[in-house]
Amino acid sequence: MPAETLSRYVTRNSEILSREPVITGTRTSVRAIVGFWRLGIMPEEILNHLPHLTLAQVFDALSFYLDNQAEINEYIEANQVPDKLVHPSVRSVLGNP
């Protein structure tokens, strides 16, 4: 199945992440962008972590998330790293001792 356009910069492609919504022309998932945002990283700062994206792409991904929270939250939950596998130093930075 060819790529399906979901918004200006978000697509779904059967050959990329099993049809999980991604930024067009990349393998960067909406889930990844939302993960940074949920950590309190401002959209402008997300570009420091994902420099191949534009600010418009980041905002579009967040907008897509806000319109499709249930779907993206399912991807987040399915890809959650179990707490016991997270290094203690990372847990302490995230506030999960």
- E-assigned strands of 2-94? 4-5, 10-12, 22-23
Q: What is the pLDDT along the chain (97 residues), one digit of tens a residue?
A: 678 999 999 999 999 999 999 999 999 999 999 999 998 999 999 999 999 999 999 999 999 999 999 999 999 999 887 877 878 887 777 676 5
Q: Angle at Cα 28 formed by Cα 82 and Cα 97, nearest 5°? A: 25
d(C-alpha 26, C-alpha 52), whole Å = 9
Q: Considering Cα of 59, then 25, then 52, then 73, what sign does the dihedral take?
A: positive
- What pLDDT is recorded for position 81? 78
Range of the domain at 41: 4-94
Name residues whose C-beta falls within 8 Å of residue 40's C-beta, 6 or more positions apart in sequence.
none
Q: How many domains does the chain have?
A: 1
- 52: domain CATH number is 1.10.10.10
Cα 42 to chain centroid, rounded: 14
